[in-house]
Structure 1
Amino acid sequence: MNIKILSGVSQFPKKNSTHHRFIPFFANHSNAINIVMLRIFRQVALWEAISTIFLFFVAMPVKYVLPRFMEIPDDIRLGTVRIAGSIHGFLVVIFVVLLIACWQSYNWKFKRVVMYFAASLIPIVSFWVERDVLKIINKEKI
């Protein structure tokens, strides 16, 4: 290995050097990295709320109410709830996983976690979770 020595100092940075190539790209942006999980959680909370409303107020009425007024094929009637329910179920699982991850990462109180989970079960109230997490994100940016 040929290392060029100029005036007694090698051109390669020392092992413990703060040379820019050896500093992770996020080292100076730790606050931005901390906000990323909150932003993802906020988006999942929003989409989980939308999927709950869609499931309760669109898919379930198509399955149970609409057949009383008009003829609807079974595949459409059952498929709407199956598809909307699957999407909603997936988002609920992601929501709970991210809720637990945020609880651990940000040292949230147990009361907050329970309130967020309970709010996610009620269709209209679940939008509050998204708004509350947005307030937390705005506080973190300061």
Structure 2
Amino acid sequence: MGSCGTFSVSVKKRDIIAATLPVQDHWLPMSNLDLLLPPLDVGVFFCYNNFLLQLDESVSIIKKSLAEALVPFYPLAGEMVQNSLGEPELLCNNRGVDFIHAYADTELKNIDLYHPDESVERKLVPGKKQGVFTVQGI
């Protein structure tokens, strides 16, 4: 199949997954260290063998688990906003996490995980458009 860096990823479906329990809106200020460091783009990707479960069943399980995991980690379901001083703050509003279900035309063994900037970035871990966190299931 594909070799490192030459594979393609096709998006099947995009969803927003929120925590299963409601969260009261509140703001969390950034620490001094957060204000000094450049912003980070946080994202994860899950690879699964679609022979173990039906593909739709695997995605459904991941979505349900993510919604439950966001309950204690509710800030990840928020979004970055600016306060009146123009400084970034985390708005904990349960906006949800971008969840992308995709298909890669390669096997995991063909991906060079030692050089993720060249092989993984923007393919397996997409850039987030909103929110704090992005998840992609492949």
TM-score of the pair, normalised by structure 2: 0.25
Structure with larger Rg: 1
Which protein is richer in strand relative to its size? 2
TM-score of the pair, normalised by structure 1: 0.24
Which protein is richer in helix relative to its size? 1
Higher relative contact order, chain-length normalized (CA < 8 Å, sep 6+) = 2
